[in-house]
Amino acid sequence: MFVFLRALAFQRSVRLPPPALLALSYAILIVIGMLLLKLPVATHNGIAWWDALFTAVSAVTVTGLAVVDTGSYFTSTGQAFILLLIQLGGLGIMVFAVLILSAMGLPIGMSHHVFLREDLNQTSVSELVRLLRVILRVVVVCELSGMALLAFVTVPEFGWAGGLWQALFHSISAFNNAGFGLFPDSAMRWATNPIVNFTLPMLVIIGGLGYSVMADMLQLRQWRLFSLHTKLMLVGTGVLLVWSTVIFAALEWDNVKTLGTLDSAIDRWQASWFQAVIARTAGFNSIDLAGMHDSTVLSFIAWMLIGGGSTSTAGGIKVTTFIVLILATVAFFRRQKQLHVFGRSIGMDEVLKVTAISVLTVLTLMAGMFFLTISNDGKFLDILFEATSALCTVGVSRGLTAQFDDTGRTILMLLMFIGRVGPLTLGFFLATQAAPRVRYPAGQIYLG
């Protein structure tokens, strides 16, 4: 499989831009995943082609939406296939391809760097190899550490073989922000377990920070030496986690369908923390999301749209995009022509980029909602929740995904794929890269 992907993505004879090859690579992996899940050894009683395709799309895009129960529907072999798709989709095919080339002692040329740069959203080619080493170390350490911690919970409950598999599956799924679980109720059985409430969210947070942030932090540099991106991600993530935890607790504290079912205040804060972390990136849940108040659902949608960090396994418009949008708004009202934060300025190119990302995300979500409501009239808020979860590759659900017809599931698959590849990357396909030869005089329009 890797040889085929390498030949497809890296051969110079392929006359496609890097984002196009990246999207094509993900599409091919989805098809391969669908074929693997259709094998007799993957399921107990077989699976329909459409369900196999949906599961493959959800796994490769590290979303976590499901139309069949992963734990009971798939065999251990099928679950292993899903786990492989999650790992490949989360880290990126190009990352794995370059790691394989390096392990084989083959040279990594400039063309390889170009494709890898598109997958990791990096602009500095010289930093890519160092970033790859960081990625590999972080992935191995985090996933094995998460497995070891979760084993203290799963092994006593399921025995050594079953417990270790449960721990490994949930650790990889959490680190890659996939949200796939092996139980119909996700993590609700562990809603008051402190080990699970610490381990799964921490794996999600680390996986959602982004590898460039990890590389900065692993160098143990002082705060003043961190890059601007790292500072914005750390501060933004911290503020969002505190804000979303408090908001969720305040809105759901006495709701007998969610937090109200838990006895102690500590348990309710644990569940609030768990959902606050999961809401922006991964699809686990420790309470019944279908029982949330409408105000909480709207807050959830906002958190999903923000998402995690660039160069991470998370989705959404990204934390730094949201911060730059806020800074640009503040600068407008202060009549400032430049954005300043942490002693650095942010150029107009970055502002235009985050504007494009945000607009494309909103337009894509609106288009998805339009077609979903045509075939699934009613339950507008639930449909918006599922559509946002798909586009932002979060994977949380209020139980509506499995109820969609084939048209609805097709739209969700398209939203998941677009959310993983990236609205800006898709826009790259239609954009002309030729510099304009004619300049026009400035004009004036009235806004607001």
With a cut of 80, say whether residue 66 has pLDDT above it: yes
d(CA 409, CA 387): 10
Pick the closest to residue 17 from 435, 436, 425, 434 (CA basis): 425
The mean pLDDT of 207-213, rounded to a whole number, is 84
What's residue 56's pLDDT? 97
What's residue 445's pLDDT? 76
pTM of the model: 0.89
What's residue 1's pLDDT? 44
Those residues whose C-beta lies under 8 Å from the C-beta of residue 190, and which sit 6 or more positions away, are: 153, 196, 197, 286
More confident residue, 421 or 417: 417
Angle (CA) 174 310 298, round 5° = 70
What's residue 24's pLDDT? 82
Identity of the amino acid at 94:
M
At 344-355, the pLDDT tens digits run: 888 887 888 888
More confident residue, 33 or 106: 33
What's residue 282's pLDDT? 86
With a cut of 90, say whether residue 119 has pLDDT above it: no
Question: Of 54-58, 91-95, 287-291, which range is least confident?
Answer: 91-95
Structure confidence at residue 21 as a pLDDT band (50, 70, 90): confident
What's residue 294's pLDDT? 95
* Residue 135, CB-side half-sphere exposure with 13 Å CA sphere: 25
d(CA 248, CA 156): 32
Per cent of the chain over pLDDT 70 is 83
With a cut of 60, say whether residue 100 has pLDDT above it: no
The mean pLDDT of 92-97, rounded to a whole number, is 62
What's residue 348's pLDDT? 82
With a cut of 50, say whether residue 164 has pLDDT above it: yes
More confident residue, 43 or 104: 43
d(CA 373, CA 371): 5
Mean pLDDT of the chain: 85
At 258-277, the pLDDT tens digits run: 999 998 999 999 999 999 99
With a cut of 70, say whether residue 284 has pLDDT above it: yes
Identity of the amino acid at 127:
E
What's residue 270's pLDDT? 95
User: Residue 40 burial (CB < 10 Å; 0-12/13-18/19+)?
Assistant: exposed
With a cut of 60, say whether residue 4 has pLDDT above it: no
Structure confidence at residue 9 as a pLDDT band (50, 70, 90): very low
For 187-227, where are the alpha helices, taking DSSP H only? 194-209, 211-218
Structure confidence at residue 160 as a pLDDT band (50, 70, 90): very high
With a cut of 70, say whether residue 97 has pLDDT above it: no
Pick the closest to residue 277 from 203, 192, 188 (CA basis): 203
With a cut of 60, say whether residue 98 has pLDDT above it: no
What's residue 149's pLDDT? 97
DSSP 341: E
Q: In which residue are the tokens 């984002």 written?
A: 19
Structure confidence at residue 219 as a pLDDT band (50, 70, 90): confident
The mean pLDDT of 374-393, rounded to a whole number, is 90
With a cut of 60, say whether residue 176 has pLDDT above it: yes
* Residue 20, CB-side half-sphere exposure with 13 Å CA sphere: 8
Please tell me which of 66-70, 376-380, 419-423 the model is most confident about, judged by mean pLDDT: 66-70
Pick the closest to residue 417 from 32, 1, 15, 60 (CA basis): 60
With a cut of 60, say whether residue 104 has pLDDT above it: no
Structure confidence at residue 198 as a pLDDT band (50, 70, 90): very high
What's residue 343's pLDDT? 84
